[in-house]
A = this chain, B = another copy of it.
Amino acid sequence: MTESILGNEWYSERYFFKNVATSFKIKSVLHSEQSKYQKIDVLDTFALGRLLLLDGKTMVSDKDEFVYHEVMGHIPAMIHPKLKNVLIIGGGDGGIVREFVKHPEIERIDLVEIDERVIEVSKTFFPDCTSGLTDPRVNVLPQDGVEYIKTHKNFFDVIIIDSTDPEDFAAGLFTQEFYHHVYEALTENGIMMAQTENPLYDEYGIKSFYDNLRNVYPVVKSFTGPMLIYPGVFWTFAYASKGLLPTQFNESKIPFMSMLEKKLKWYNMDWHKGAFNLSNIHKSVTGC
């Protein structure tokens, strides 16, 4: 449960039944518009650099975007033995695409973002995040992911759900029916990933999310990474697959990743190996 207050000097987000607030001091408001789907704001902040808000909620900041984008891109890329086709639903900022295009074996990356304006605003204000969108393997598709997924069966090797909170038009991305369609769109070794909130502040929401995933996928695992702009920072992510375990590296990728990881800000293979060793509270909340 969140509520945002866009004041003159501070951006504040209240959460955990409005009993906690995180606030970032604003230098200036760089952009504001109402798209067909949502309010889009770009703030320049002292602590985070640029900060993208959708309907007043924090989506991406210069300072910590690398955490989210690198874990979403490189974890599945190190696991899948024959990665060709990737689908990202949401993620109009382009950050996850930027990480996937670093992997030469990938042949096609579909970015299905319902709100074309998020993509355009990101191109203007987050040029580093969107730098992968010009890669010839990338198809930017301004469409509804819930509909798009139904038109593909046994096609994508990896599907990333990079959406806003489960409210309004994004609610369809959190239903068990949707996870079934994602499952069917995946190839036999398919992997799905999604962000799954803060276990210290959203215990019950997370429980039901992971229960839904387990009803569909034989392998459901979780890991954590800090997101300064999300409520309570201690953020969890889900890894679900038709069988591949999240620490079973594709051995042939190791030499390549040994070079690539030197240029990354968060991801490395050592971290990846330890990331699925969960604390007790993380285990009990997610059931992983």
Are B277 and A265 in contact, with the CB atoms below 8 A? Answer: no
Q: Which residues of B contact A265 (CB under 8 A)?
A: 280-281
Q: Which residues of B contact A281 (CB under 8 A)?
A: 265-266
Are B23 and A20 in contact, with the CB atoms below 8 A? Answer: yes
- Residue on B nearest A47 in the bound complex, by CB: B19
Of A110-118, A166-174, A227-235, which stretch is located at the interface? Answer: A227-235
Q: Considering the complex, which residues of chain A in the window 229-288 have a beta carbon less than 8 Å from any beta carbon of chain B? A: 232-234, 261, 264-268, 270-281, 283
Q: Out of B21, B200, B272, which one reaches A226, CB within 8 Å? A: B200
Given A279-B271, A280-B266: A10 and B21 interface contact (C-beta under 8 Å): yes
A40 to chain B minimum Cβ distance, whole angstroms, is 23
Say if the beta carbon of A37 comes within 8 Å of chain B. Answer: no
Say if the beta carbon of A25 comes within 8 Å of chain B. Answer: yes
Say if the beta carbon of A130 comes within 8 Å of chain B. Answer: no
- Residue on B nearest A71 in the bound complex, by CB: B279
Number of A interface residues at 8 Å Cβ cutoff, please give it: 45
Are A45 and B22 in contact, with the CB atoms below 8 A? Answer: no
Are A276 and B279 in contact, with the CB atoms below 8 A? Answer: no
A196 to chain B minimum Cβ distance, whole angstroms, is 15
Given A20-B24, A233-B226, A234-B226: A200 and B280 interface contact (C-beta under 8 Å): no
Q: Which residues of B contact A23 (CB under 8 A)?
A: 20-23
Question: What 0/1 pattern do residues 1 to 44 of A give for CB contact below 8 A with B?
Answer: 00000000010000011111111110000000000000000000
CA distance A20 to B233 in the complex (A): 13
Are A46 and B25 in contact, with the CB atoms below 8 A? Answer: no
A283 to chain B minimum Cβ distance, whole angstroms, is 8
Are B279 and A268 in contact, with the CB atoms below 8 A? Answer: yes
Which of A10, A17, A265, A270 neighbours the largest number of chain B CB atoms within 10 Å of its CB? A270
Q: Which residues of B contact A63 (CB under 8 A)?
A: 200
Q: Which residues of B contact A67 (CB under 8 A)?
A: 279
Q: Which residues of B contact A202 (CB under 8 A)?
A: none
CA distance A61 to B226 in the complex (A): 20
Q: Considering the complex, which residues of chain A in the window 174-204 have a beta carbon less than 8 Å from any beta carbon of chain B? A: 200-201
Query: Residues on A close to B: CB < 8 A?
Result: 10, 16-25, 45-47, 63-64, 67, 200-201, 224-226, 228, 232-234, 261, 264-268, 270-281, 283
Chosen A-B contacts, 23 in total, with CB atoms closer than 8 Å, are: A10-B21, A19-B46, A19-B47, A20-B47, A21-B22, A22-B23, A47-B201, A64-B200, A67-B279, A200-B226, A200-B228, A226-B234, A233-B233, A233-B234, A266-B279, A268-B279, A268-B283, A270-B278, A271-B277, A271-B279, A273-B274, A274-B276, A274-B277
